Structure 1
Amino acid sequence: MSEQNAAEFDLDEAKRVLGEVFAPWVQDLGLSIAGLEISPPAGAPAGWQPGATVRMAFSDRLCRHGGIVCGQALMALADTAMVIAILAANRGFRPMTTVDQTTHFLKAVASSDVLADARVVRLGRTMSFGRVTLFSAADNKPVAMVSSAFAML
């Protein structure tokens, strides 16, 4: 990655990637990037990790019977958020593909937006690893924990 690309990767670039690179059905999830953490903020703890916060707007189209947001939508949110987090850590676009994603569902979420807090655990040359916590925007309680691995292409 060139120094110019590193300097230009910001929230606007992340939004552009979300809108132009992902498949059309991912666009249909109603995702928006709420924030990026590319560099440690002042006073960050020693274990700080770069990441991204992505919001999935509530829609009845994402729900299964009973008005519960379906697991497939939550997993797609987590996967997409982790890609954005890896791009933030990389400070620019780099092709990658999901190798593994393990999701632990903690509680159902209904009639609420969902927030994904995605953190890069390790950014590597050939593999990158991350964790995502999904929260209900209604009460800020965790609804799922996700760990994932990506092959860097």
Structure 2
Amino acid sequence: MSSEQKPAEFNLDEAKRVLGDVFAPWVQDLGLSIEKLEISPPPDAASDWQPGATLRMAFSDRLCRAGGIVCGQALMALADTAMVIAILAANRGFRPMTTVDQTTHFLKAVSSSDVLAEARVVRLGRTMSFGRVTLFSAADNRPVAMVASAFAML
């Protein structure tokens, strides 16, 4: 799909297709799935509501460093991928982009648990977009990392 074309509707099925077709094979090896896609605010949304997406990274020993801790590289790749999907949701369709900056603050280790990434678009721009991601341990729903990122829109 060229960057000029958009599907008739950007929805969960289209987001899953992008996740499977656009990202590098090693990203697909992370076992990511899209849990939720938020394109339009719900009727009871707060005034500061932002489009977003929630992705899940299934736990695997292959993603762990010594001691059974999910490695930071996998967590950062999850956050980056979740933010791309959130930007596509805000854009209501595919648009090529590249990560310009990603700052990650690790809060606590996560082991033996899936990880959830809740990504929110802070600003969707013509040439740059910005977002934030909170990573949670699916086992106890406690935050394990906070991520701020910037993307150049191509």
TM (normalized to structure 1)? 0.97
Structure 2 unaligned regions, length at least 5: none
Give the corresponding residue for 1:95: 96
CA distance in 2, matches of 1:5, 1:99: 24
More helix by share: 1
Q: Which runs of 5+ in 1 are unaligned?
A: none
- Secondary structure of 2:105's match? strand
- 1:67-124 deviation digits (Å, cap 9, x = unpaired): 0000000000000000000000000000000000000000000000000000000000
Name the counterpart of 1:25.
26
How many residue pairs align between the two structures? 152
CA shift, 1:37, in A, is 0.4
Equivalent residue for 1:55? 56
Shift in Å, 1:130 = 0.1
Q: How big is the alpha-carbon RMSD for the aligned residues of Structure 1 and Structure 2?
A: 1.3
**Normalized against structure 2, the TM-score is what?**
0.96
Identity across the alignment (%) = 88
After TM superposition, what 4+ stretches of structure 1 lie above 6 angstroms from structure 2?
Answer: none
> 2:120: which partner in 1?
119
Deviation of 1:6 (Å): 6.3
Q: Which residue of 2 aligns with 1:65?
A: 66
